[in-house]
Amino acid sequence: MVKPNKFKTIPLPILVTSLAVAAALLGDAMLYVVMPARPELWQLTIVQVGVLLSANRLVRLFTNPLSSVFVERYGVNTPFRISLLASLGVLVAYAFSKNFLVLIFARLLWGTCWSVLRLVSQWVASDQSTEENIGFNLSSNASVIRLGSIGGAVFGGVLSDYLGYEIAFMIFGIFTIISFFFWIRGSGYQKKDRQTNEGRKLSGFIEVLKDPRVLILSIASMISGLVFSGLVGATLGHFFRYKYGLEFDFVLLTLGVATVTGFALGLKSFAEVFVGPFGGYFSDRYGRYKTLVISALLTSIGLIGLGLSDSLISTFIVLILVFVAGVMLMMQLLTLVGVVADDDSRSQVFSVYNTFQDFGSALGPLVGLSLITANLLPLVYSISGISLLFLISITCLLLNKR
């Protein structure tokens, strides 16, 4: 553990690690913008898109526990470097292949890479924290990572519409290479290859779930991931295309649906970047359960409003509420997990939490794109908001008893 961070600045090891993960995330974020809005670019059906956008999350049900074992056995340095470089191969597949099986393999590989990259970033953020600032450091790590979501969503959509998606993926690959060298120079973990328990096995993943607090928080993260990251994040492009068409006229400017979807998901990422640290700060200062319930209430109101909105402007206004409140909610859950995890079980607890969240996120594209029609999305948004508020209320009651 390090000394408390009095002035609330992000420690350098957390910053460079988070930025490296953000660079690797660029291509994935762009895919969520362009592929649902323009599946014909890859010669895919919308059902195949739903499968592809879920595959990387489903595989993490297996790779999250494995990543925990690898990090505990080999440290953070080697697994992180290998995963960052492997993510470059994923971008090549996105850019130059229209074969569904190749794209499936690329999504599975990216899911494996993301398991390691995310776990290492959380491990570093927790390692650099104390009880007084763990909320701020963990939420700041998550927020900086989402710079990749902003870049991939906003610039990916624009670059795809005007330069072609192939060039966009190659540009993002260059950023990943640059971040790789910055991490090697600035993380301070490059000589810590073997630093934790070598005897830990996959059975430790199950042992962690015997802690009721971990199980309760993991279930809450699963439902939150399904609604916030999976359903809303994956279906906006399909929703816009169904409700408003392929092009949008703004005075003298005409924008494609991929660009508009990119801006919409960019709002989500902006909220994750700029609201996330405040979520951790409010949790540290004003109480974790109180902030969690208020966040869930506002998220629920926003989702219900999203289902009822009938114009593009009102949709964007409601989306701002959904994204801001949703980020606050996710930061509260992440902070509570950081409080529960001790030094010996840190990687296992985060791995369990991430796996449940990934499972929920994986269900989102399947439900929103492959199992229901676009005209039912408004109803699904509203029902999800009500269900999420109910679940979070039950979560707080159960945790408070513990």
Instruction: Give the model confidence (pLDDT) of 126-137 as tens digits.
Output: 877 776 777 778
What φ, ψ does residue 335 adopt, rounded to 5°?
-65, -45
Homologous superfamily (CATH) of 12-188+202-401 is MFS general substrate transporter like domains (1.20.1250.20)
Are residues 67 and 119 in contact, defined by beta-carbon separation less than 8 angstroms?
yes
Domain ranges of the chain: 12-188+202-401
Q: Could you tell me the pTM of the whole model?
A: 0.68
Q: Mean of the pLDDT values across residues 8-22?
A: 85
Distance CA 192, CA 124 (A): 12
- Considering 112-121, 177-186, 357-366, the range whose residues carry the highest mean pLDDT is 112-121
> Over 90: is that where the pLDDT of 4 sits?
no
What φ, ψ does residue 253 adopt, rounded to 5°?
-120, 135
> Over 50: is that where the pLDDT of 161 sits?
yes
If you average pLDDT over every residue of the chain, what do you get? 79
- Cα–Cα distances in Å, from 75 out to 79, 203, 228, 244? 7, 19, 32, 49
Q: Which residue has the tokens 């008893």?
A: 401
- Considering 151-160, 238-247, 287-296, 384-393, the range whose residues carry the highest mean pLDDT is 384-393
List, in order, residues 6 or more apart from 82 with CB less than 8 Å away. Answer: 116
> Over 50: is that where the pLDDT of 3 sits?
no
